[in-house]
Amino acid sequence: MRRLLLALPFALLPLAVAHAADEHDHDHDHEHGSLGAHEHGVGRLNAALDGQTLELELQSPAMNLVGFEHAATTDADKAKVAAVRTQLEKPLALFNLPKAAGCVVASQELESPLFGDKPDADDDHDEDAKDAHHHDHSEIHAHYRFTCATPGALKTLDLANIFNTFPATQKIQVQLIGPSGQQGVEVTAKAASLKF
C-alpha cells in the first residue's frame, strides 16, 4: 500500500504539469521548480483506498495550520503548535469519515520541524541553502492509515472540517486513487467534498 501512495504523484504527473501550464504559480518558492512547491494557503492531500485500507497523507505549509513557520519560542506559539498537533491527532474528526464505513485509525505519523522533527536529509538542497531557506518555510506532514470494515460506504471524502479547523487553508490539491480510478482535483471550503 505504501508503494501505491508513493506512486500516486507520478501517476498524476501529467495532470500536474497540465495544471501548471494553465496557471502561473505565484508562490515564493518558484526558484526550486518542484511540483510540490511551498505555497501559503495551499495544502496537498494524497488519498488511496485499497480494499479495506484507506491512506491519507496531508502536507501543508505550517502557516496554514499554526499561523507561522518559525520555531515556537514563546509560550503562545508553543501552545498553538500543541493545539494544532492535538487536532491533527484526531483524523476521524478532521476528515469526517462516514460512521457507516467503520474506519479505525491503524497508524498515524505527524512530522514537522515545529514538532521538533529534523528536516528530511534527502531533500535535494545542500545543508547551507536549506538552513538559510527552510526555517522560513516549515511544513507539516500527517500520514494516516485507516482500516475500514465497510469500505463501500466511503462514497465521498469530505474535507470541510480541515477548512473549518484551519481557516488559513484556502485550497487543497488532492490526488486520489479509489475504486473508480485515479483523479486529481482541487477543493476549496465552498466545494470541500469529492467522490471516491
As for how many domains the chain has, the answer is 1
pLDDT digits (tens, 9 = 90+) for 4-24: 554 444 444 444 433 433 333
Confidence of residue 67 (pLDDT cuts 50, 70, 90): very high
Contact in structure between 39 and 168 (CB atoms under 8 Å): no
Q: Does residue 109 surpass a pLDDT of 50?
A: yes
Mean pLDDT of 31-47: 71
Digit-coded pLDDT (tens) for 123-133: 444 444 434 44
Residue 54 forms part of a structural domain: yes
pLDDT of 189 = 94
Grid cell in block for residue 113: 520541524
Separation of alpha carbons 72 and 113, rounded Å:
10
Residue 31 belongs to a domain: no
Please check whether residue 68 lies inside any domain of the structure.
yes
In a domain, 78, yes or no: yes
Domain residues for the domain of 177 are 2-12+38-195
**99 lies in a domain?**
yes
Q: Burial level of 15, CB count in 10 A (0-12/13-18/19+)?
A: middle
Q: Is residue 27 part of a domain?
A: no
Mean pLDDT of 159-178: 96
Could you tell me if residue 129 is inside a domain? Answer: yes
Report the range out of 22-26, 71-75, 169-173 with the highest average pLDDT. 169-173
115: in domain? yes
